[in-house]
Amino acid sequence: MTDDRNGYPGNGNGGAAGGAAKNRLAEIAAGAVFPTETHPELDRETVVLDVQGFNLFYGAKQALYDIRMKIPKGKVTALVGPSGCGKSTLLRSVNRINDLLSTVRISGDMLLNGDSIYGHGVDVIELRKRMGMVFQKPNPFPMSVYENVVYALRIDGERDRSTLDEVCERSLRGAALWDEVKDRLHESALGMSGGQQQRLCIARAIAAEPEVLLMDEPCSALDPIATNKIEDLIEQLKGEYSILIVTHNMQQASRTSDYTAFMYLGRLLEYGPTATIFQTPHLRETLDYVTGRFG
Amino acid sequence: MSADPVKPAPFARTRTRARTSLFAAGEPMVWLTGGGLVVAICMIVGLLGLILAQGVGTLWPQPVVEVRLASGARLMGEITRTETYRTGDGRTARRRLFRTGNFELTNEHFTWVNDADVAEESRPEWAMVFERMSWGRFYGRPKSLTVEGTVTADAPAAVWAGFARVHASVSDRREVRERLETEEIGEVNRRIEEARLAVRRAELRDGRDSPAHAAARAHVDAIQAETKAEFDRLRAEIAALNGHNAKFSIRVVTADGRETDLALADIVRAYPANRLSDGARWSLYASRWREFLLDEPREANSEGGVFPAIFGTVVMTLIMSVFVVPFGVMAALYLREYAKAGPVVSAVRISINNLAGVPSIVFGVFGLGFFCYVVGASLDELLFAAKLPNPTYGKGGILWAALTLALMTLPVVIVATEEALSAVPNSMREGSFACGAGKWQTIRRIVLPRAMPGIMTGMILAMARGAGEVAPLMLVGAVKLAPELPIDGILPYVHPERSFMHLGFHIYDLGFQSQNSEAAKPMVFTTTLLLILVIFVLNVLAVQLRTRLRRKFVSAVF
Ligand SMILES: Nc1ncnc2c1ncn2[C@@H]1O[C@H](COP(=O)(O)OP(=O)(O)OP(=O)(O)O)[C@@H](O)[C@H]1O
Ligand SMILES: [Mg+2]
């Protein structure tokens, strides 16, 4: 059993014994930290977001363990893993929304296009303006549909009506919502259905044209048609935008993403091209998870 | 193996289900909670019903009853109350309280009449009620009417018709005279006072006998000479009006046969109570309500209207809201959005809650000591030194009253606002931050609009509490009778230093401070009804506003 660990990394390619896999998971549960199995394809990509040995604690409880991860520019990266493994936490750390919780402590740093995110003297507000985020639960603001979409522009002081109108329409079209709300742009956003609200939040996130788009299970509240539309949107955004998306839906991950990262109990276990991760991952645990054998 | 005792499958259904108990279904709880509601409703309806029943009837014109007592005395009046009592030999008997009026003749407004003493009772056709500017009501039969100095009618019907014809013009003259007395003479007095103040200012600034002082003194003399003519003219005008009105009078015979002349100018309203048609009764009722709502009080507040008190209450409540809402909201914002939770914040929060339990009179004492005697006195020294030792702001006034009540209702607003702020979902704040909004932008654009209905609730509660409060007001500016309104047509139009009348204080004054307490008692209910109405209207307005905000900013969708 120990020699299986010696063979790490590389040859776990479906060949590892079931017992060994269980053992690794058990060791992680007991507190062990393994280096991430990062596939070499990632070295050829330009990096937009570079996570460098990031740890996060909720009070005394550690939620992220030494995350090292380079998010490629213009690509879609999916974060998968069992519930409670820290996907949302990682996502919320990228735009420092977790700062709002007084119990959170962190160590390590991340770089956004080379600029430190957690360094001294970083302007957090400026930083957040460079990212967009879609939350797990829809959170429209208590204002009209229109004002929701152009919120980021409003707080930047944009007043030009034609610019706002144009951004609003483009973003709503992008989020596959335009046709449904074009006649009620000035009604309260709180009167929409849950799925519409979620697409509104997506429109709001893309309105500011962020460098990185963070999406936390954006489709969990959507019907299959809207889900398709969102996946189409992700397809279109690819190239211009770098997207980090959390999903529990393996089909969605394999359909939409270029790279997939597998997280388990706060650790990043394996990170590589989506096709490889879903068909021939290096780690037994990854295969077990993506094929639905645990998690 | 097969001989092993059969183990139950892990999810075998072995639990026997208990029958739904009475308590699980909660049937008794429905009754209990419903019962609580019923008790609350009964109390509210009972109180409101009492006030409504007593308050609405007060102004309704009652018939006039004349009685001849066994002793031979006669008296006449309106029956205001009936009660049964136990006589010395243990039988129950009934007695009635007559409002007999004619105070200048009898030294009494009311008389108790035992049923046993009544020899004869009637409703004389020509018994008339006179409501007067002073001395209260007069009850009697009209005998003759003097118009322009000559007797023009001497039969009751003719007197009544003649009275109805000329009374309006007499009243008009009286009103013109009152206006001359208060406004025009007041204006002249103000000019003289202004010039005197200028002398005092010059003296304070440049010293006694300085050129500026001498100039100011010369100015006073000039003004005085100038206004003397004005005074004389006004006095002559007033004398002419009075002289003219003096030629109108009505001779009345009381029940016991005494005759008196009543000046028409002194009569506010007169009517033959037993001859009124239904329509006349209603129009009399309406005219009394109009007087009650729109006129100033007479007769130590037990007659006339309460307009100054309504006005004072509304203005004071609005000024209070203007102060308390922004301050309360700011304090709550800091506590909830900025302050780091810790022992200090908890201590502050506890203190605020304790503040809500401090007796209101303590706030009155504080307001008097701090606002009037410290802040007001300093203001006087800085800005109104010339008027000293007469205080301007250094005494009770509507501004200080509003500030005192603002302080008193601050906890209500803070607590309600804090509740409203904590009810704003954190996900909304996070969404705003994720869009790159700063803390204040998030508060202003997301948190405050969303919390606004809750803040309005706090304001409604504060207004209701403030408008109905009496005790502290007695110390900081509410008075029995305020000669001037806090807002009027005289520059600078708003006079926050003036003392004011307040419905709550008016009720207290009527009920406990009035000499003619029997006459004042029904007015207590009417005024209470009015105070409740004023609070109700203020609340309805605020609730309307809140509903509109709520529709805009909060709505539950699933
Ligand atoms: N505010 C918090 N305070 C304390 N612990 C937290 C907090 N938020 C999350 N956690 C813990 O951190 C761990 C990671 O949570 P996280 O929400 O990141 O999981 P997740 O991977 O997004 O799960 P899911 O797929 O269910 O959304 C969990 O064990 C959770 O209990
Ligand atoms: Mg999550």
Ligand 2 center from residue A248 Cα (angstroms): 9
Beta strands in B212-316 (DSSP E): 249-253, 259-263, 267-272, 297-298, 303-304
Q: Which residues of A101-130 are buried (b: 16+ CB within 10 A; e: fewer)?
A: eeebebebebbbeeeebbeeeeebeebbbb
**Among A61, A88, A99, residue to substitute to test ligand 1 (most atoms within 8 Å of Cβ):** A88
- The residues, ordered by sequence, that sit 6+ positions from B327 with a Cβ below 8 Å of its Cβ are B406, B410, B413
Q: Is B457 exposed, middle or buried (0-12, 13-18, 19+ CB in 10 A)?
A: buried
| Chain B closest-CA separation from residue A221 CA (Å) | 11
pLDDT at A7: 38
3-state secondary structure of B92: strand
Q: Which residues contact A109 (CB under 8 A, 6 or more apart)?
A: A52, A53, A54, A116, A117, A118, A119
Please indicate whether, in this complex, the C-beta atoms of A155 and B450 are within 8 angstroms of each other: no
Q: Cα B443 from chain centroid?
A: 38
On the question of pLDDT at B153 being above 60, the answer is yes
Question: Which one of A102, A141, A148 would you mutate to disrupt binding with B, by most B Cβ within 10 Å of its Cβ?
Answer: A141
The protein residue whose alpha carbon is closest to atom 3 in ligand 1 is: A58
- How does DSSP classify residue B418? H
**What does the alpha-carbon distance between residue A171 and residue A203 come to, in Å, rounded to a whole number?**
5
Pocket residues: Cβ below 6 A from ligand 1: A 58, 61, 63, 83-89, 101
Q: What is the pLDDT of residue B364?
A: 92
Given the CA of residue A263, which atom of ligand 1 is nearest to it? 21
Phi, psi of A110 (to 5 degrees): -135, 155
B342: how many CB neighbours lie within 10 A of its CB? 8
Euclidean distance between CA atoms B368 and B371, whole angstroms: 6
Strand order through the sheet with A47-58 = A61-72, A47-58, A104-112, A115-116
ipTM, two decimals, is: 0.88
* CA angle A286–A292–A293, rounded 5-degree value: 80
Q: Are A164 and A153 in contact (CB under 8 A)?
A: yes
Is B302 in a helix, a strand, or coil?
Answer: coil
For strands B74-86 and B65-69, give the pairing.
antiparallel
- Tokens encoding B375: 């802040």
pLDDT digits (tens, 9 = 90+) for B346-360: 999 999 888 888 898
CA of A289 to the centre of ligand 1 (A): 19
- Select from A139, A143, A216 the residue whose CB has the most chain B CBs within 10 Å, as the one to mutate to test that interface: A139
Q: Does A192 reach chain B within 8 Å, measured CB to CB? A: yes
CATH assignment of B64-139? 2.30.30.720
Question: Is the pLDDT reported for residue B384 higher than 80?
Answer: no
Q: CA separation (Å) from A230 to A222, A224, B4, B48? A: 9, 10, 57, 60
Rounded to whole angstroms, the Cα distance separating B253 from A181 reads 83
List phi, psi (to 5°) of B360.
-65, -30
Partners of B420 on chain A (C-beta within 8 Å) are: none
> Residue B2: is its pLDDT beyond 70?
no
> Comparing B547 with A2, which gets the higher pLDDT?
B547
Percent of chain B's residues with pLDDT above 90: 25
Report the alpha-carbon distance of residue A219 to residue B221 in Å, rounded.
89
The 3-state DSSP class for residue B385 equals: helix
CA distance B404 to B416: 19
Which residues of chain A are under the pLDDT cut of 50? 1-19
pLDDT tens-digit profile of B182-231?
Answer: 888 888 888 888 888 888 888 777 777 788 788 888 888 888 888 888 88
d(CA B363, CA B404): 6
- The DSSP secondary structure of A206-235, one letter per residue, reads HHT--SEEEEESTTTTS-HHHHHHHHHHHH
Domain boundaries, chain B: 64-139, 150-289, 307-553
CB contact under 8 A, A191 and B427: no
What sign does the CA torsion over B386, B390, B395, B396 have?
A: negative
Mean pLDDT value across chain B? 86
B312, B482 contact by CB (below 8 A): yes
**Closest partner CB to A100 (pick from B428, B430, B555):** B430
**Ion ligand 2: protein residues whose beta carbon lies under 5 Å:** A 88
Radius of gyration of chain B (CA): 33
pLDDT at B521 over 50: yes
A137 at the B interface (CB within 8 A)? Answer: yes
Q: To the nearest whole angstrom, how far is the Cα of B512 from the nearest Cα of chain A? A: 52
List residues bridging with A131 in a β-sheet: A212
H helices, E strands: number in chain B: 18, 13
Query: CB pairs under 8 A, 24+ apart, for B109-115?
Result: B109/B136, B109/B137, B109/B516, B109/B518, B109/B519, B110/B80, B110/B518, B110/B519, B111/B75, B111/B77, B113/B67, B113/B69, B113/B75
Q: In this predicted structure, what is the pLDDT of residue B211? A: 81
Taking CB atoms and an 8 Å cut-off, how many pairs form between chains A and B? 88
Q: CB–CB of B437 and A143 under 8 A?
A: no
What pLDDT does residue B416 have? Answer: 92
* Mean local confidence (pLDDT), B50-73: 88
Q: With cut-offs at 50, 70 and 90, classify the pLDDT of residue B467.
A: confident
A132 touches chain B (CB under 8 A): yes
Residue A295: predicted pLDDT: 57
Task: Report pLDDT for B46.
Answer: 94
Give the minimum alpha-carbon distance from B432 to chain A in angstroms, rounded to a whole number.
8
Is the peptide bond prior to B522 cis by the omega test (within 30 degrees of 0)?
no
CA of B489 to the centre of ligand 1 (A): 66
Dig out the tokens for A191 from the structure. 């009167």
Q: Is the pLDDT of residue B423 over 80?
A: yes
Dig out the tokens for A238 from the structure. 């690819």
Fold exhibited by the domain B307-553: MetI-like fold (1.10.3720)
